[in-house]
Amino acid sequence: MKVVNPNNINHTINLISRVYPTTSISLLLYDRIEKREYNVINTYIVQDGYVYIDFNFVFEEGQRFRIEVLEGNNIIYRGKLIATTEETQNYLADNNEYYYE
């Protein structure tokens, strides 16, 4: 899950994609509550095995989105995004238990 701060307009998310893009990509955010999809203008770089995507978007606290990153018609990443000002925690999941790092 990707986390963004709703107090900011500029955001950067990093991800490990299925394939590394070589042309322009589309960043689609789907709000399941409003049932609305946003095609967000973005720029990206590939560095150290990650794809870093920079974009501008106005989020509200607690909003949740489904993310799709496409290169042409090919999906290179699919995931979830939440907008929150709360501090995030890293954890490991093992045998249906969570271990915080």
For residue 50, the domain's CATH number is 2.60.40.2320
> What pLDDT sits at residue 46?
96
Q: Which helix (H) or strand (E) holds 3?
A: strand 2-4
**Spatial distance between the Cα atoms of 97 and 7, rounded to a whole number of angstroms:** 32
In this predicted model, which residue has the larger pLDDT, 95 or 13? Answer: 13
Domain of residue 34, residue span: 2-100
pTM of structure: 0.84
Q: Is the pLDDT of residue 94 over 80?
A: no
pLDDT digits (tens, 9 = 90+) for 25-71: 999 999 989 999 999 999 999 999 999 999 999 999 999 999 999 99
User: Which residue(s) pair with 54 in the sheet?
Assistant: 12, 43
Number of domains comprising the chain: 1
